[in-house]
């Protein structure tokens, strides 16, 4: 069984040296192509990458930097920790935390969006409405539209919930198509929508 962590090392200039097979596998690159590559080039520009570059330049130990990179066209996240080496450079350990990041993103999405229609949910609508009401106090304008579907219960009762779900999804798409791009459309629950 393979470990979920792998070792890495960089020279005093921050270039990867002697990447192991586990590192190469995690990158989905040949070890020969990684050898001599600046470690920072693997990652997307971010504040965390700035911190990594500072640690690499100074040869300072660090723990728990989480950085994003693209592997096979997909976003991935690694957490890196390292200690200085004698003679310069750093040696460290990396962990792929992509599954955790994706799970966090999914939980956050589920907290703010309706699972059936992908519209904002009641919680996100209320948060956004609160922010916009604060702006109204500063001479901005605001409009709120609330609507529900008449006799929706009879659709579910006579044609079944799968048809009712399709109807709700189609209504969501039509409302989105009728408003401006910066307007928020939400499903508040059941057959209730708001813009």
What residues are annotated to the active site? 191
Cα separation, 55 vs 22, in Å, equals 23
Please state, in angstroms and rounded to a whole number, the distance separating the CA atoms of residues 193 and 195.
7
Q: Tokens 């779900």 belong to which residue?
A: 165
Q: Are the CB atoms for 12 and 89 separated by under 8 Å?
A: yes
Identify the helix (H) or strand (E) that includes residue 21: helix 21-27
Q: Which helix (H) or strand (E) holds 56?
A: helix 47-58
- For residue 145, give every residue at least 6 positions away whose Cβ sits within 8 Å of its Cβ, in sequence order, or none: 194, 195
């Amino acid at each position: 069984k393979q470990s979920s962590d792998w070792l890495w090392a960089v020279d005093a200039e921050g270039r990867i040296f002697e990447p192991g097979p586990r590192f190469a596998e995690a990158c989905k690159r040949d070890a020969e192509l990684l050898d001599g590559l600046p470690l920072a080039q693997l990652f997307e520009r971010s504040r965390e990458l700035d911190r990594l570059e500072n640690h690499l330049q100074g040869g300072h130990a660090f723990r728990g930097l989480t950085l994003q990179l693209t592997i096979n066209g997909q976003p991935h996240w690694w957490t890196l920790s390292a200690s200085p080496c004698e003679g310069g450079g750093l040696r460290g350990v990396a962990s792929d935390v992509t599954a955790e990041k994706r799970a966090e993103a999914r939980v956050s999405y589920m907290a703010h969006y309706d699972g059936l229609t992908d519209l904002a949910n009641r919680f996100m609508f209320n948060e956004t409405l609160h922010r916009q009401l604060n702006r109204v106090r500063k001479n901005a304008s605001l409009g709120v539209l609330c609507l529900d579907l008449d006799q929706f219960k009879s659709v579910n009762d006579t044609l079944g919930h799968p048809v009712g779900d399709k109807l709700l999804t189609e209504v969501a798409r039509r409302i989105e198509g009728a408003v401006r791009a910066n307007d928020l459309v939400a499903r508040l629950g059941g057959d209730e929508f708001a813009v």
